[in-house]
Amino acid sequence: MNALYRAIGISKQGFHQQLDKFLSMQDEQQQLLSVILQIRKEYPTLSARQMYFMIRPVHLGRDRFESFCFKNGFKIEKRRSFRRTTNSWGVTRFPNLLQQKELTDINQVWVSDITYYEINGRFYFLTFIMDLHSRRIIGYSSSENLMTANTTLPAMKMAINNRKPGSSVIFHSDGGGQYYCKEFLSLIRDQGILSSMAETVYENSNAERLNGLIKNDYLIHYYPTNYSGLKKELVRAVRNYNAKPHSELKRQSPIEFETRCGNVDDSQKRIGRKKAQSSSLRIAHIPHI
């Protein structure tokens, strides 16, 4: 093997450094698609070049970013709306495990999504993980870029640390690259967490609606003026969201709902679960937040 490295004129260490860089670049590109789609919904005429300076991707220069956008159907054309083309890399997909899934307790289903937040013409990125039964945010992160190490990994580590779940938790997300990269899958598989993915935007609507709530009901009113302020106000927003009564929880906050569920003894919990077989909500019909 060493002879092979010498033959191609590169050291073993150099080869692996180049490989890691390539994989990181590919990972970032796969993550960009879902965020660009969100941005274009809010800014239909925002050009690829303008997006580049607002997103500032780590591994893509301006020209390559524009080419990436055009290749994936995000070129603005007169009298035509943009369309999203099929990802040519052959992305990893997981089945949607939420079909007809009944919710009777916490730590059955966690949902997640990544969104952006604009400050002074610059996009920053927010990742949330929510327990679908209690609607409580159990993990989150803010970042200046879309690298997995700064988005889904810290959010999931927080969720695992907060919950210390057993096996068989279903983790549901969209098809973004940050949810199937090697490091992220290794983390959740070590915990026995099962991956589930939406095939359409409607199959992850609870997580997407949470994004809008945090941005429009909390952060926009806290007026963060820079990234440091955004990180601080995000903590405040999550704290206040988790303490606010929800109509779907019979006017209890997510924290209160979980506390009351946790205070019943085992016999009461078993009875409650039997009743839930006939009356519990199915995922497809859960009212949105």
pTM for the predicted model, two decimal places: 0.74
Which of the listed residues 55, 71, 87 is the one where a domain comes to its end? Answer: 71
pLDDT at 253: 96
Cα–Cα dist 137/113, whole Å: 12
22 is in which domain, residue-wise? Answer: 2-71
pLDDT at 21: 55
CB atoms within 10 A of CB 161: 10
Instruction: Name 124's bridge partners.
Output: 117
Q: Are residues 255 and 119 in the same domain?
A: yes
Same domain, 37 and 144: no
pLDDT of residue 31: 73
In a domain, 95, yes or no: no
Count of the separate structural domains present in the chain = 2
**Best CA proximity match to 133, nearest among 252, 237, 274:** 252
- 184 in the same domain as 41: no
| Domain-located, residue 261 | yes
Which pLDDT does position 261 carry in this prediction? Answer: 77
Do 43 and 148 fall into the same domain?
A: no
Same structural domain, 188 and 61? no
Low-confidence stretches of the chain (pLDDT < 70) are 1-28, 77-92, 176-177, 201, 262-289
CA angle 160, 161, 164 (to 5 degrees): 65
**In this structure, is residue 83 part of a structural domain?**
no
Are 152 and 265 in a shared domain? yes
Residue 205 falls inside a structural domain: yes
* Same domain assignment for residues 59 and 132: no
45-56: pLDDT as tens digits: 888 899 898 888
Looking at the domain assignment, is residue 232 inside a domain?
Answer: yes
Residue 84 lies in a domain: no
- Note the pLDDT of residue 204: 86
Dist. CA 68–CA 24, nearest whole Å: 16
pLDDT of residue 263: 42
Within 8 A by CB and 6+ apart from 154, the residues are 127, 141
- Are 47 and 114 in the same domain? no
Instruction: Say which CATH number the domain at 130 has.
Output: 3.30.420.10
CB 277 within 8 A of CB 103: no
pLDDT of residue 8: 58
Q: What is the pLDDT of residue 245?
A: 94
- 3-state SS, the chain, equals CHHHHHHCCCCHHHHHHHHHHHHHHHHHHHHHHHHHHHHHHHCCCCCHHHHHHHHCCCCCCHHHHHHHHHHCCCCCECCECCCCCCCCCCCCCCCCCCCCCECCCCCCEEEEEEEEEEECCEEEEEEEEEECCCCEEEEEEEECCCCHHHCHHHHHHHHHHHHCCCCCCEEEECCCHHHCCHHHHHHHHHCCCEEEECCCHHHHHHHHHHHHHHHHHHHHHHCCCCHHHHHHHHHHHHHHHHHCCEHHHCCECHHHHHHHHHHCCHHHHHHHHHHHHHHCCEHHHCCCC
> Would 262 be classed as within a structural domain?
yes
Determine, yes or no, domain membership for 266.
yes
Domain termination residue (choose one: 24, 44, 71): 71
Task: Tell me the C-alpha to C-alpha distance, in Å, between residue 142 and each of 95, 118, 202.
Answer: 28, 12, 24
Structure tokens at 133: 């039964």
